[in-house]
Structure 1
């Protein structure tokens, strides 16, 4: 049974990047998820397909009209209901929303489907947020031209968590942030590149030692680059072995950050 995603957007062709390239393309072809887009212009009532107007109270820019968005979302809900999804979540991609993180992605990946609302211009009529939106999500503390890029980030991150989307069942669990740790350094051929050699332990064939080294590198890189994540790791519980590995990393002066 596929994960159903409906996107409300004025620029549906932008979402082609999701279904035509990479991991998400393969997952789409294998019907691990299905993507359907709705253009609010198709629900506009006038001959000009108007979807925006100037804001009440004055101010710069334009605001997306309530009625076309309202009908587009309603049609998306009806489509998902026809697919057997009785309860769906409408998410508005907004800089005012909850900051997206790995925990939120895991939570959303457990759903059967969702409807993503992509704003443009100065935003959307507040009454749509009140009437139709279940939650708002932001991909960062910055402003982009519209919600489409944010929607693609969210879709890509969720699809990676769906069973069968990745080539290896372990790939998602080993991604950066999966355990509030950054991923360990990766190497491939040749063994020596411009005088820099692959760490000998990776060539040893001793998988227990390799796993220990990788865990230590993940802990060390997180300590160096994202101490905020390491704080979360401590709050959720860090083992005695992990503490030992991290202390060894801190005492080692000849490490490299990859």
Structure 2
């Protein structure tokens, strides 16, 4: 006996038609789930079959009576009990309910049976909500003409999680929001459509590389489109295992003129990338390797130590540390080498180069969301704001940003 969902509504045909279609309809026919829609109007006590009236205290619109909803819910409870099921969990779909998320769907899917009550007009008499509701849910911060669409959203998102509804469990575990991230982009035939090609990695058959690409795409999409989701994901998904160092990788102390120039080149490339969305084009033109070459040499005089990461004798990453102040700065990876874990390795390397400082510090721009996420996941916490780049105060600044101070907490 599969999960049972009942919808209490003024428009049962509308709801049942959706529930009987597509994936949910097929699952119901096979006995994996059970759905029923109930007409509130059938339980009215007046001849006109009226279900609403004007609100006490005045105001526009109409309010649904408590009595027919209550009697309808009691009838549903009797049906459920006759099946030998436990008492249904009752949810009212209201604008004042908790905002619905995937976490709610997973929790509701644990019940044997669920009853969804659709609001309409200006709302429902609060007394029936107080008497019957186990909880109230809103599917978003907008207004609908009734709760039917909201109830179908909840029913669909809950029932799809039940065994047998989807062909594979993986079908929902890789969907958006399941692990707190948005889903990676999907492609199908043909390989090239109107000049747009499918990413080559998806055509190579290397499933390890495909999984890595999809993970990166999912994280990037979430970081750019839903930063609040990504921030929450970073807090709950710390990096506990660093990528292994590969043959041909090593870190060298910057000492020679050639090494300083290679570091300055990386510095200029990295700083331009970070500042691209927040500073003027004129300012970006001034970020040359020559400028950073002088800065790195001066910083050496001030106690900073710079390191270069090499892959097969090609400098593709850098970081600087200061033993006097316990600071880590200038963590940059070349564009060609990004996505290979070099940033993680270099940040871990830099922190370990400061054993006398159990809580080293670094700074990062809040618009550099990629780096900010990495630092959070590696145990660094925001301590405060070092500087605010306000376009009204800095002529080279196009978009306001903040330089955040972070501290290693482990």
TM-score relative to the length of structure 2: 0.58
Task: Name the count of aligned residue pairs.
Answer: 251
Partners in 1 of 2:83 and 2:20 — Cα distance?
Answer: 23
Structure 1 counterpart SS, 2:92: strand
Partners in 2 of 1:246 and 1:231 — Cα distance?
Answer: 22
Deviates more, 1:161-170 or 1:141-150: 161-170
Q: 1:239: how far off?
A: 2.7
Contact 1:118 1:148 in 2 (8 A): yes
Matched with 2:248 is none
Structure 2 unaligned residues grouped into runs of 5+: 244-337, 344-368, 372-410
Check 1:152–1:186 CA distance in 2 against 1; reply closer, same or farther (3 A cut): same
Partners in 2 of 1:184 and 1:166 — Cα distance?
Answer: 19
Contact 1:216 1:242 in 2 (8 A): no
Structure 2 counterpart SS, 1:49: coil
Matched with 2:224 is 224
**Structure 1 runs, 4 residues or longer, greater than 6 Å off:** 241-244, 246-249
Check 1:125–1:70 CA distance in 2 against 1; reply closer, same or farther (3 A cut): same
Structure 1 unaligned residues grouped into runs of 5+: 252-258
Matched with 2:192 is 192
Matched with 1:73 is 73
Contact 1:216 1:246 in 2 (8 A): no
Q: 1:242: how far off?
A: 9.4
Structure 1 counterpart SS, 2:79: helix
Structure 2 counterpart SS, 1:171: helix
Check 1:10–1:124 CA distance in 2 against 1; reply closer, same or farther (3 A cut): same
Deviates more, 1:49-58 or 1:106-115: 49-58
Check 1:164–1:239 CA distance in 2 against 1; reply closer, same or farther (3 A cut): farther
Contact 1:44 1:51 in 2 (8 A): yes
Q: 1:57: how far off?
A: 1.4
Matched with 2:109 is 109
Check 1:242–1:47 CA distance in 2 against 1; reply closer, same or farther (3 A cut): farther
Q: 1:121: how far off?
A: 1.0
Matched with 1:214 is 214
Deviates more, 1:87-96 or 1:233-242: 233-242
Check 1:54–1:246 CA distance in 2 against 1; reply closer, same or farther (3 A cut): farther
Q: For 1:75-154, list aligned pairs within 5 A.
A: 75-154=75-154
Matched with 1:54 is 54
Partners in 2 of 1:139 and 1:221 — Cα distance?
Answer: 23
Contact 1:93 1:117 in 2 (8 A): yes
Partners in 2 of 1:193 and 1:242 — Cα distance?
Answer: 38
1:14 aligns with 2:14: yes
Higher helix content, 1 or 2: 1
Partners in 2 of 1:40 and 1:190 — Cα distance?
Answer: 49
Q: 1:133: how far off?
A: 0.9
Check 1:250–1:125 CA distance in 2 against 1; reply closer, same or farther (3 A cut): closer
Contact 1:18 1:156 in 2 (8 A): no
Structure 1 counterpart SS, 2:170: coil
Partners in 2 of 1:242 and 1:226 — Cα distance?
Answer: 26
Partners in 1 of 2:124 and 2:16 — Cα distance?
Answer: 24
Contact 2:16 2:36 in 1 (8 A): no
Structure 2 counterpart SS, 1:85: coil
Structure 2 counterpart SS, 1:95: strand
Partners in 2 of 1:202 and 1:239 — Cα distance?
Answer: 26
Matched with 1:161 is 161
Matched with 2:346 is none
By relative contact order (CA 8 Å, sep 6+), the higher-ranking structure is 1
Q: Over the residues paired in the alignment, what is the CA RMSD in angstroms?
A: 2.1
Partners in 2 of 1:242 and 1:162 — Cα distance?
Answer: 36
Contact 1:219 1:246 in 2 (8 A): no
Check 1:246–1:74 CA distance in 2 against 1; reply closer, same or farther (3 A cut): farther
Check 1:24–1:242 CA distance in 2 against 1; reply closer, same or farther (3 A cut): farther
